[in-house]
Amino acid sequence: MNGSETNGHDTKIVTQHRLIGDLRQVIENAEELLKNTGHYDHGLYHTARHKLAQALAVANEELERCEEAQLARMIDATEARCRLHGDRDGEAKVLRAFH
């Protein structure tokens, strides 16, 4: 990668980390809202809580998908760097993952 490609790649990674963090925060807030409004179980409250619970389930699935994709990218990048640097033993590979 040249410098501009690396910078664009880094920006994309930072953006993805930020989006995952934002999604976690939204999920946490939605869970707290559901917990704190559990005693409202009639009429419009029931409908709104049901919709929020459905959206929360979708958000949790999306977060899991994003985190799995992020982990797969990290593993692939570590494996590529290990090949590039000729890391053969487990200790070298683990250390490479953190550098």
Q: What is the pLDDT of residues 2-43, one digit of tens each?
A: 545 557 777 877 888 898 999 999 999 999 999 999 888 788
Is the Cβ–Cβ distance between 52 and 30 less than 8 Å? yes
What is the model's pTM? 0.70
Q: Kindly list the domain boundaries of the chain, sorted by start residue.
A: 3-97
Reply yes or no on whether the pLDDT at 72 is more than 60. yes
- What is residue 1's predicted lDDT score, i.e. its pLDDT? 47
Average pLDDT over residues 82-88: 86
**Computed over its alpha carbons, how large is the radius of gyration of the chain?**
20
